[in-house]
Structure 1
């Protein structure tokens, strides 16, 4: 059997090929290392429907039909904001000081194309460099390893850093006898033998997740947590969730989306176990949506949105960011939530504090973005950069 045939055959039952070193058994549990999970919400989250500024009189003036059914059901946050009622687990994190929404943030991108906006968000550069992602550059500075829960390597993890992908396939699985024969066949090929062993061990970790035709965020989050918390697991992972482009029927669609997001974060937290205490979760979207609703009970592409920070390593329990207001004169180009801070500045501060990446190296991760001057992490670990 040739290598190409092995890859196809192994892939049909293992759902893994590109994950080096994560499946190897550890002889001694390594010291805990700080972890980062970056969750990209593709489509443009309407932050005014998630982190609702109930105190702002402009909310009702601009979007009464969207806001009025929510205001009496909001889960309370500080500064007069409220969290959507379908984000109950996230609100529980807020109460435990493990969630901090950052309002009115944006990337440097100011047009309204999903593709361009996502590319800038993932690259961390404007214009985007499709071969250089901000997370890969951060990993290079930290000398860590990354994992994308995706079918192919996303822009955010492209670059010189050690990064791999995992995603469940839906092809029929091979039986254990075939794998045993393959191990025997390649016992003299160190690389292939090792990769098959790694794949089998990873398959054992994720269990029945390999094989779901359309896995939801909950299923992917479970696999992500399992691999991230494993001995010798990666230092960061990237997850994605689509469906946030709500041009019509926004209340019903976002209710479902928030329910899935909330459940996914709960699964991630539960399956990380003690690793949650050393983990930061960063939830970002490419842009926000219009302040006013359109004629189909939805919203259109906008500018500023919210950044959701979570995790056991976060100093949360607060709403961060400067609020610009929703009055007509306060809107960006007369239609969008005005950005008051650069999303990259918040992420840079997290990298500086959680991974202790010095400012000189942060300048290469996010050129032109100065880290915000707030303490965002609890400082539960003093991570040591790999040498």
Structure 2
């Protein structure tokens, strides 16, 4: 099957140039959140379409093993799936998430999706990150527009001209965080560290010729100092487990700062599992799972007011293909983690896996709109206005109500 190259820099790099320019310094503190809490909201985009039936297998559904055959997970054997609630289990590469789930600090949103019902990675990612119901809208993302609409409160420094700001992690700012609201940009270092006297020399030069650039340079250096110094065995990119953990730890260190950002977006690559899915997802889910632990550890006391949302553009086919993988599908799984999550449960209006229950006879049917999940978090964690969410953040979504009961 011909598959778009979702890791190619050509299209998304061009579209993301404006986002990459948001390498701003720390902005004044975040707008007041619901109930006055100093909240953090983090979105991790999984690019490539996560197979939700492997990440969170419905082992209690009588149709599951017949559809999955050689890649079906079981709760017994050499590498058993981790138990969740009797009907749903968890991929064995995710013990940190299971621990958080049992501590009621994590939840699963199963059989979920965006409004998109086709199978193009690029179009699906546009819909997921832009917040529009159709592809092609790449001027701004829903997280940035959400920031724009948050009302000023006691968390904002007196006299500040800025209401809020976010953090974009990666060499190119994810679309979900691009827009008018000021954004701090950070990416793990991939080049050899510069000589120790380079930064002072540049600051001295620009302080005399370009004061604004000099100020940004100083603030960028400080940002790097906060997010760096990570005790990583090796570095990797956004499709490598070590790279995922490094991105999460750096982001968490910035989010943990008293005057740091409060809303962040990351993107992990490589989730397009057309072949050899078991081995590939074991590696990728290990990286995602370690990222949950990294956020929990680095955020410290702020973890209790944190929500991490993990979402992907669409799911995979219910049946496996001829190469022990799955093709592009529809319904999938979203993850929530954090001390502010009302966890310990799988939220699902389960559609079933019989032939007549599958979407177009091939996919897990989506019964939960991901926009309702985001709206529920935005309203109950951040104090966002439901009208602004329906009109500006997710245009045309007036009928999609915020999901209640996601936040403690």
The answer to whether 1:156 aligns with 2:164 is no
Distance in 2, matches of 1:17 and 1:213, equals 23
Residue 261 of structure 1 deviates from its aligned partner by: 1.1
Give the stretch that moved more between structures: 328-337 or 161-170: 161-170
Report the Cα distance in structure 1 between the residues aligned to 2:76 and 2:368, rounded to whole angstroms: 26
Q: 1:350 to 1:213 in 2, by over 3 A?
A: closer
Match of 1:49 in 2: 54
Q: CA RMSD in A?
A: 2.3
> What CA distance in whole angstroms lies between the structure 1 residues aligned with 2:226 and 2:316?
39
Indicate the larger mover: 366-375 or 94-103.
366-375
Match of 2:141 in 1: 133
Spell out, residue by residue over 1:74-98, the C-alpha distance to the aligned partner (whole angstroms, 9 max, x if none). Answer: 2221251111111000000001111
Quick check: 1:307 aligned with 2:337? no
1:202 corresponds in structure 2 to 223
CA gap of 1:337–1:33, structure 2 versus 1, over 3 A, is same
Q: Tell whether 2:313 aligns with 1:259.
A: no
Structure 2 partner of 1:382: none
Task: Give, in angstroms, the shift of residue 341 of structure 1.
Answer: 1.6
Match of 1:40 in 2: 45
SS of aligned partner of 1:159: coil
Q: Matched residues in 2 for 1:218 and 1:202: separation?
A: 18
- CA gap of 1:343–1:23, structure 2 versus 1, over 3 A, is closer
The equivalent position to 1:179 in structure 2, one of 199, 202, 209, is 199
TM-superposed CA distance for 1:365, in Å, is: 1.2
Q: 1:179: Cα distance to partner?
A: 2.1
Q: Is the 8 A contact 1:102 1:306 kept in 2?
A: yes
Q: For 2:73 and 2:311, locate their aligned partners in 1 and report how far apart those are by CA, in whole Å.
A: 26
Q: TM-score, normalised by structure 2?
A: 0.83
Asked if structure 1 preserves the Cα contact closer than 8 Å seen for 2:25 and 2:184, the reply is no
**Would you say 1:250 and 2:270 are equivalent positions?**
no
Tell me which residue corresponds to 1:84: 91
Counterpart Cα distance in 1 of 2:199 and 2:144 = 33
- TM superposition shift of 1:23: 9.0
SS of 2:373's partner is: helix
Structure 1 residues 267-282: aligned runs within 5 Å = 267-282=294-309
Are residues 1:374 and 2:381 paired? no
Query: Does 1:323 find its partner at 2:323?
Result: no
Which residue is 1:352 aligned to?
Answer: 379
Name the SS of the counterpart of 1:176 in structure 2: coil
Q: Distance in 2 between matches of 1:198 and 1:101?
A: 38
**Cα separation, partners in 2 of 1:260 and 1:335, compared to 1, 3 Å:** same
Runs of 5+ consecutive residues of structure 2 not aligned to the other structure: 1-19, 29-35, 151-162
Contact 2:108 2:333 survives alignment (8 Å): yes
1:162 and 1:71 map into 2 onto residues whose CA distance is 50
Q: TM-score, normalised by structure 1?
A: 0.87
Give the whole-Å Cα distance in 1 for the aligned partners of 2:96 and 2:280: 19
Q: CA deviation at 1:278?
A: 1.3
Alignment partner of 1:170 is 2:190: yes
**Residues 38 and 283 in structure 1, CA contact (< 8 A), matched pair in contact too:** yes
Task: Name the structure 2 match of 1:123.
Answer: 130
How many pairs are equivalent?
358
> In 2 relative to 1, CA 35–150 (structure 1 residues): closer, same or farther, beyond 3 Å?
same
CA distance in 2, matches of 1:91, 1:171: 36
Comparing 234-243 with 296-305, greater Cα deviation is found at 234-243
Residue 212 (structure 1) shift: 4.7
Pairwise CA distance, 1:21: 2.8
Does structure 2 conserve the Cα–Cα contact (< 8 Å) formed by 1:17 and 1:195? no
